Amino acid sequence: MEHDLIIRGGTVVDGSGGPRRAADLAVGGGRIAAVGDLGGAAAREEIDAAGLVVAPGFIDAHTHDDQAVFADPAMTPKVSQGVTTVIAGNCGLSLAPRSYPGVGAPPSALLGTPAEYRFPTVAGYRAALEESPAALNLALLVGHSTLRIDAMDNDIDRPATAAEIAAMADKLDESLAAGAIGLSTGLAYPVAKAAPTDEVVALAQRLPAHGGIYTTHMRDEGAAVLDSIAETAEIGRRSGARVVISHHKCAGEANWGRSVETLAAIEAARETLELDFDVYPYTASSTVLLPDWAPQARRILVTWSDPHPEMAGRELAAIAADWGCDRDAAIRRLMPAGAIYFTIDEGDLRRILAHRRAMVGSDGIPGDRHPHPRLWGTFPRVLGRYVREAELLTLEEAVFRMTGLTAQVFGLAGRGVLAPGNHADLTLFDPATVLDEADFDHPKRPARGIHSVWVAGQAVWRDSTATGARPGRFLARGEGRG
Ligand code: ZN
Ligand code: CU
């Protein structure tokens, strides 16, 4: 029998968390055909993987790629890292479903312009992506803030009324039926801040019937982070939905070291609840520039500014000095704008990243002019700096938390583990050299050591270049192996 592709002589790290082994891997018809000693088999294409690791394509647990898959279907920032699937629609923001034509409250601009919010339904979003696929797969969460803007006509500084909640819940039901995998919130943001816990519970209660998941950028990641974990667990318990805490961190110097407490609280909640979290491997966060968040940060870098695009990549303090004003005044002149906030302790980051349930998610913001380097560097950074150099976790464990665990948590059937019959989403990398090259000064550099990447058996990254192939799919919830 002739396969499409055989990757020979590599070290297979299969995404289950189990030990690496020397094995060949064969692909046929977009699926994994066999894993083992394939000395007797032939293929149209053979790759010598001596010294390289064969792993499942990485699943980016936390992205804002809803619009990027249309704007840049090659998805170079992600496939260059070995990513083959992204979870989009995070932090309460999704490109669909939205009909509101105006400028939504912050941080709506993080995802796109009003014209880019062009999908009144998830079914329409899905059809557009199926019509014009990207290099990688995408699964979509429905954003609570997106629902709010529509249902409340962007009048969002108050709790939603019962009628508005009912309208949002119906939209959510319709979206889940069209293939969305769950609901996300961003309760820290102006657009959703005024939503009480009960509003979120009423929506999350629609999730279990569809097997949907609840993900959350919590109300507070600083002084009140424990209250936020309690609120998140309450939403999980009262709704019956599975929960993911997004980009877990302890923000602000006054809270450094508190990941000891937060991880203990998460462990305690896990006794009665399916609750997991994702994390990015950096000590700076990034989102819209807002005066409220500036005091938490030692240093702030501007990532984009509508009135002052020339300030992208510069330090807020330097801009304020140039302008002869204080930081607050400078922020107001730069807005609407985006920023990188240096607010996280390396010790907390390591403690969180080392946790056995920590999924890796980039939280990259693809539209930013001078983005946070996590957009291009997250996965190779974990493999290079935290696995190889710091030995914070084993290679098998890291790959599991980039693949098998994430597929399990988000219900992505037939992905995340190298096993016959599963989709041939694969990453081939050099464990001795893999490393992020993007940094805060040069955020758009592709990583080193990612040899080749396949989606459904088609190469999307090879010889340090995107191939232009676009085999990606919209991954609908509960789709099975079809
Ligand atoms: Zn967020
Ligand atoms: Cu996010």
Instruction: Write out pLDDT tens, residues 425-471.
Output: 999 999 999 999 999 999 999 999 999 999 999 999 999 999 999 99
pLDDT of residue 481: 40
pLDDT of residue 248: 98
Query: Closest Cα partner for 411 from 222, 267, 208, 249?
Result: 208
Please enumerate in sequence order all residues whose Cβ is within 8 A of that of 189, keeping only pairs 6 or more positions apart, or say none.
91, 92, 105, 106, 107, 145, 217, 288
pLDDT of residue 478: 72
CA 246 to ligand 1 center in whole angstroms: 6
pLDDT exceeds 50 at position 404: yes
CA 196 to ligand 1 center in whole angstroms: 18
Check the CA dihedral 56-62-66-70 and report its sign. Answer: negative
Ligand nearest to the Cα of 217, by number: 1
- Tell me: the pLDDT tens digits for 280-331? 999 999 999 999 999 999 899 999 999 999 999 999 999 999 999 999 999 9
**Average pLDDT estimate for 199-208:** 98
Burial status of residue 455 (CB atoms within 10 A of its CB: 0-12, 13-18, 19 or more): buried
Q: Let me know: does 377 contact 315? Beta carbons within 8 Å.
A: no
How far does CA 139 lie from the centroid of its chain?
10
pLDDT of residue 372: 98
In sequence order, what are the beta bridge partners of 137?
85
Ranges of beta strands (E only) in 13-151 are 21-28, 31-36, 42-48, 53-56, 58-60, 83-88, 137-143
pLDDT exceeds 90 at position 229: yes
Q: Mind listing the domains of the chain with CATH numbers?
A: 2-55+421-466 (2.30.40.10), 57-284+345-410 (3.20.20.140), 285-343 (3.30.1490.130)
Return the percentage of the chain with pLDDT > 90, whole number. Answer: 98
CA 331 to ligand 1 center in whole angstroms: 20
**Average pLDDT estimate for 362-370:** 96
Q: Let me know: does 288 contact 191? Beta carbons within 8 Å.
A: no
**Ion ligand 1 neighbours, Cβ < 5 Å:** 91, 217
- pLDDT-based confidence at residue 477 (cuts at 50, 70, 90): confident
**Average pLDDT estimate for 26-33:** 98
Query: Phi-psi category of 75—alpha, beta or left, where left has phi over 0 and alpha has psi -120 to 50?
Result: left
CA 62 to ligand 2 center in whole angstroms: 6
- Tell me: the pLDDT tens digits for 253-275? 999 999 999 999 999 999 999 99
**Average pLDDT estimate for 192-207:** 98
CA distance 460 to 468: 7
CA 247 to ligand 2 center in whole angstroms: 7
CA distance 49 to 10: 4
Burial status of residue 325 (CB atoms within 10 A of its CB: 0-12, 13-18, 19 or more): middle
Ligand nearest to the Cα of 90, by number: 2
User: Apex CA 337: angle with CA 333 and CA 340, to 5°?
Assistant: 115
Return the percentage of the chain with pLDDT > 70, whole number. Answer: 99
pLDDT of residue 48: 98
Ligand nearest to the Cα of 87, by number: 2
CA 97 to ligand 2 center in whole angstroms: 18
CA 22 to ligand 2 center in whole angstroms: 37
CA 63 to ligand 2 center in whole angstroms: 6
CA 91 to ligand 1 center in whole angstroms: 4
User: Helix, strand, or coil here: 383?
Assistant: helix
**Average pLDDT estimate for 390-399:** 98
pLDDT exceeds 60 at position 482: no
User: Apex CA 291: angle with CA 141 and CA 369, to 5°?
Assistant: 60
Using omega within 30 degrees of 0 as the cis cutoff, is the peptide bond preceding 107 cis?
yes
Here the tokens at position 206 are 């629609």
CA 362 to ligand 2 center in whole angstroms: 8
> Please, what is the angle between helix 144-151 and helix 162-177, to 10°?
130
Query: Closest Cα partner for 74 from 461, 418, 425?
Result: 461
Got the DSSP string for 338-363?
EEEEE---HHHHHHHHHSTTEEE---
Q: What is the mean pLDDT of the chain?
A: 97
- pLDDT-based confidence at residue 76 (cuts at 50, 70, 90): very high
- pLDDT-based confidence at residue 334 (cuts at 50, 70, 90): very high
